[in-house]
Structure 1
Amino acid sequence: MTETSRWLTDTEQHAWRSFVRLQDRLLGRLGREMQADSGLSSADYGVLVELTEVPEGRLRVLELARALEWEKSRMSHHLNRMAKRGLIVREDCPSDARGAFVAVTPAGREALAAAAPRHVEAVRRLFIDPLTPAELAMLAQISNRILDQLEKDCG
């Protein structure tokens, strides 16, 4: 028995392509502006945000990779680049010789603190301000519904 795909209707195709185009353009613009303003890439910013949101400023490398939804090799290469710039340090895990921690440095905290105001300003200008409060609430509701589906579908 062969399974046939449920092709997208014109309306569904338009919604999907609009979302993909929005995501690509918005993230691209935010990334370029951040790089120009602060020297941080979007990836650097994501790592630093994750690390500074935990009390000790450090996470297991695999935990950080899961939080960012990155492959292990991408995480390793990116952390090496950030370590060379003094934004993070790697630390051995005393309870697991195979495991490692990554911790934000004072320089990493300073870089994030310097980048955050301009980034938030750009997010507001490009994403928040064009929408009404009701549209923002609906967007959050839709986003959470899809995130819930992703959790159910692939854990």
Structure 2
Amino acid sequence: MTKDTRELSDEAVTAWARLVRVSQAVLSKVEADLKAAGFPPLSWYDALLELDRARPEGLRPYQLQERMLLAQYNVSRLTDRLTKGGYVEREDCVDDGRGQLLKITQDGRRLLRRMWSAYRQAIATHFAGKLDADETTELARMLAKLR
């Protein structure tokens, strides 16, 4: 059951604004940490992780976009950069002569592993380190309700 918008409380609006602002702020800090460590943007990690999970079949570009954690409005530009860097390869799709499959390369898996070290530390610093175990569990529970 959803509340009618006329019954929207000030607390709900405040919570919404905080959720958006905190999400943006934490992501910016994580991005800054990755950049300081000499790594590409978080969207690269996100795409490579999904392609690694899809091995050995790979993913069509629209499937990659659907699975990405981060909003990526132009997956084609992202995958072009990943392909140019040697982290992703494109193969013709057997089921659809016009389509392509994206697959992670060995270099892509290596980059993913190297980035995880900095990304893991950034998550610990900017998120997990600010909450105790009970708060983390409660936050995960509440966010699951929004999904």
TM-score with structure 2 setting the length: 0.88
Q: In percent, how many aligned pairs have the same letter?
A: 26
Question: How do 1:69-84 and structure 2 match up within 5 A?
Answer: 70-71=72-73, 74-84=74-84
1:60 aligns with 2:45: no
Encode CA deviations 1:33-55: one digit per residue, 9 max, x unaligned.
11221422111010011111223
Paired with 1:129 and 1:28, the residues of 2 have a C-alpha distance of 17
Q: Which residue in 1 is equivalent to 2:44?
A: 44
Aligned residues: 142
Q: Which residue in 1 is equivalent to 2:102?
A: 102
Given that residues 38 and 115 in structure 1 are in contact (C-alpha distance below 8 angstroms), is that contact kept between their aligned partners in structure 2?
no
1:128 aligns with 2:123: no
1:25 aligns with 2:25: yes
Greater relative contact order: 1 or 2 (C-alpha under 8 angstroms, separation 6 or more)? Answer: 2
SS in 1 for 2:82: helix
Paired with 1:38 and 1:51, the residues of 2 have a C-alpha distance of 22
Matching residue's letter, 2:128: I
Unaligned 5+ segments in structure 1 are: 148-155
Farther-moved stretch of structure 1 (53-62 vs 94-103) = 53-62
Paired with 2:14 and 2:81, the residues of 1 have a C-alpha distance of 39
Matching residue's letter, 2:103: A
TM-score with structure 1 setting the length: 0.84
Paired with 2:142 and 2:5, the residues of 1 have a C-alpha distance of 24
